[in-house]
């Protein structure tokens, strides 16, 4: 039986990916710190081999790569790699042993868009440590795949949402109180003209992408794929659509950025700046053509599932 080792498989994407793998007949090994349960229960988790490793600690004493090698993965999926050094340790440990290595990247490898929707072919102009590190990892893995035969595939998700997750909201940050204000018809502040974009993806659609990349290994190796919904949304359009979902007329105030940020916490203002400075709007045509990727959820459908969960939890109020 093919062994699939997932580093960080108890997270949001793993909640959907692990059951898919088990039901497809793979033997799944989940490597995690053992501090989190899947976001939603599924009987498939009873068949999963659980291995507890603290990645940060193990990388600190140079034992993490060897520990992963000892698990003898045929397929290795890395959900928690954020630095080039971390990627290099894993690749050097499993090179020549693993049949397929799949890395979780991010659409923030792009930085500001020039033409939209952005394709995977466009030159990288990342900014911010997260995007810069992920772009460096991508470049390294593609080099290893195309020059040295390392069987790497990179999956670049957008803003991941679904049950168990507080979604990026129409103000461009993560405070769920924005949805409560929309539900009550209260004023919501939108920066600038609200025409900046965000690009969500449901966690199960990210899981779908991994499954399709594994199924079409020969096409997927040496490639990177955007993993997002069929279309991005503008902040203003997002707010208007969510207000309508709550049965309300939108009550929006459009404020110039210098004024808008003074009315937010420092944390929320920084999060919004990061998102509107990127304004991602990514194409999935490559993944559709090469892998048959077809997301089940639009951006709004994915967010609405998340918000319904927040309502059930009492985090978002309806009035």
Give the residue-averaged pLDDT of 292-312: 98
Residue 319 has pLDDT above 80, yes or no: no
Give φ, ψ of 152 to 5 degrees.
-100, 140
pLDDT score, position 35: 64
Round the average pLDDT of the chain to a whole number and report it: 96
Q: What is the pLDDT of residue 1?
A: 87
- Integer Cα distance of 71 and 65 in angstroms: 10
The confidence score (pLDDT) of residue 65 equals: 97
DSSP string covering 141-210, please? HHHHHHHH---EEEEEE-EEESTT-----TTSS--THHHHHHHHT--EEEETTS--EE-EEEHHHHHHHH
- pLDDT greater than 80 at residue 116: yes
What was the pLDDT predicted at 41?
76
CA distance 114 to 213: 28
Q: Indicate if the pLDDT at residue 217 is higher than 90.
A: yes
Q: Kindly state the helix (H) or strand (E) to which residue 224 belongs, with its residue range.
A: strand 223-227
Single pTM value for the model: 0.96
pLDDT surpassing 90 at residue 127? yes
pLDDT above 70 coverage of the chain, percent:
99
Residues 82-109, mean pLDDT to the nearest whole number: 97
Sign of the Cα torsion 122, 127, 132, 134 reads negative
CA 195 to chain centroid: 22
Closest CA to 202 of 243, 236, 157: 157
pLDDT digits (tens, 9 = 90+) for 4-63: 999 999 889 999 999 999 999 999 999 998 766 777 778 898 999 999 999 999 999 999
Q: Quick: pLDDT tens for 267-288.
A: 999 999 999 999 999 999 999 9
In whole angstroms, give the CA distance from residue 95 to residue 105. 20
pLDDT value of position 39: 72
Find the farthest-apart pair of alpha carbons in the chain and give their distance in angstroms, rounded: 59
- Measure CA of the first residue to CA of the last residue in the chain; give whole Å: 53
């Amino acid at each position: 039986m093919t062994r699939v080792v997932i580093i960080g498989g108890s997270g949001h994407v793993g909640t959907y990916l692990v059951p898919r793998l088990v039901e497809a007949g793979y033997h799944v090994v989940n490597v995690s710190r053992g501090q989190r349960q899947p976001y939603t229960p599924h009987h498939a988790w009873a068949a999963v081999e659980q291995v507890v490793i603290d990645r940060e600690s193990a990388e600190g004493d140079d034992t993490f790569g060897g520990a992963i090698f000892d698990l003898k993965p045929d397929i290795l999926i890395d959900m928690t790699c954020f630095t080039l050094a971390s990627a290099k340790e894993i690749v050097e440990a499993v090179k020549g042993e693993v049949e397929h290595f799949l890395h979780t990247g991010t659409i923030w490898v792009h930085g500001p868009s020039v033409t939209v929707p952005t394709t995977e072919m466009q030159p990288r102009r990342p900014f911010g440590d997260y995007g810069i590190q992920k772009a460096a990892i991508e470049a390294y893995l593609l080099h290893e795949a195309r020059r040295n035969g390392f069987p790497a595939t990179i999956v670049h998700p957008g803003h991941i949402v679904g049950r168990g997750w507080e979604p990026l909201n129409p103000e461009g940050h993560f405070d769920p109180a924005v949805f409560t204000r929309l539900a009550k018809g209260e004023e919501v502040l939108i920066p600038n003209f609200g025409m900046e974009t965000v690009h969500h993806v449901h966690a199960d659609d990210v899981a779908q992408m991994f499954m399709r990349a594994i199924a079409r290994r020969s096409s997927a190796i040496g490639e990177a794929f955007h993993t997002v919904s069929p279309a991005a949304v503008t902040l203003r359009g997002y707010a208007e659509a969510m207000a309508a979902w709550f049965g309300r007329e939108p009550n929006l105030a459009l404020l110039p950025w210098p004024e808008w940020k003074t009315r937010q916490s420092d944390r929320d203002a920084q999060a919004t700046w990061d998102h509107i400075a990127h304004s991602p709007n990514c194409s999935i045509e490559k993944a559709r053509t090469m892998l048959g990727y077809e997301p089940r959820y639009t951006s709004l459908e994915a967010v609405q599932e998340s918000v319904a969960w927040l309502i059930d939890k009492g985090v978002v109020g309806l009035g």
